[in-house]
Amino acid sequence: MDDHGRFDDIVRSERYFTATLLPLILFEGFGKDYRGINAFLRLLSPKQARGRTGEIMNEFDWLPSVGDRNEEPQVITEFHIKRDLHFSRPGLFDAPESEQSRDAAPGEETAKERRDAPDLVLILGQTFVVCEGKFFDNGSSSLTRLNDQLRSQRSQVKYLFDADSRLNAYVHVALVPAKHDGEYDCDAVITWEQIADLAEQVLGPDSYAARRLRAASRVYEENRGDRTTKNYDGILSLEGIVAKCKEVGESIWVGHVGGPSDLKTREIAYAKTKKWKWRNPKTNNGNADRKNWIDGSQFLTLIESMRKV
């Protein structure tokens, strides 16, 4: 590029984020402690899931850590479910001739089925996670289109239940640049800003995934021209946030994915390299998941404990 900018900072395809950057996080510790996948699952923590017939399972008993299983998890991007299952098991899902679409031959995808292919599927024992990602949308009007796609996508998901009798539930997730007003027709909604936080937590703030996700979020905000929904008021170094908390610790929250319980597992070297977000919950109206924020006074106590180790 003439201005010596980066090509990977101008990419607008969701596939770059769902099939390149997010898997970098998920595959961290794969085959060992599965640190990346487990951190992602903790971020989801949905209150509901969906069963084999599409029924909503409220107060869903969420997945145990992946390391608790003997079966290796499966991480699949761009999963064209019906097409790929048909290829492996010819005739399994052939519809009667009267029901076949004119848009595709038997075993081939229609345009609608291509659109409904999930961006990411995680198979985790008897449960699985289906993710649909959007990044550069054009505001709240995109929510209607996203919900239409999510509902249609579930017609693809049912084929996984048909193909594997062990599966008994799944969680449908939307990955979005910002949460708009309105109901999302899925079980969990995660912003890419939260995924950027996750990348910093799992891979470090200077990791490729974290830097690219931060840059993409800045581009989104600049093009959207609306910063009023940010859920944080500033970003500081460790010493800066410590000084801020000493000054007004009772009135601010400090951001950290996983909250106090996760920060307790960290070392001071991690805290020194991280850039810390803070917010005043009384004046900031941005959407904030409380479990990922720490009271300023509690944050000081945790940091002091880390320094003593």
Mean residue pLDDT of the chain comes to: 85
Token pair 């910063």 in the structure block, residue: 227
pLDDT tens-place string over residues 27-36: 999 999 899 9
Average pLDDT over residues 285-292: 81
Token pair 């995660």 in the structure block, residue: 190
- Per-residue confidence at 291, pLDDT binned at 50, 70, 90? confident
pLDDT tens-place string over residues 275-284: 899 999 999 8
- Percent residues over pLDDT 90 in the chain: 50
- Per-residue confidence at 265, pLDDT binned at 50, 70, 90? confident
Q: How far apart are the first and last CA of the chain?
A: 47
Nearest partner of 262 among 270, 253, 273, judged by Cα:
270
Strands (E), the chain: 48-50, 56-58, 74-77, 120-124, 127-133, 169-176, 188-191, 234-236, 253-255, 276-279, 293-295
Q: Is the pLDDT of residue 107 over 80?
A: no
What is the model's pLDDT at position 229? 63
Under DSSP, is residue 89 helix (H, G, I), strand (E, B) or coil? coil
Nearest partner of 277 among 262, 266, 293, 264, judged by Cα:
293
Residues 51, 62: Cα–Cα separation, whole Å = 13
Under DSSP, is residue 286 helix (H, G, I), strand (E, B) or coil? coil
Q: Is the pLDDT of residue 133 over 60?
A: yes
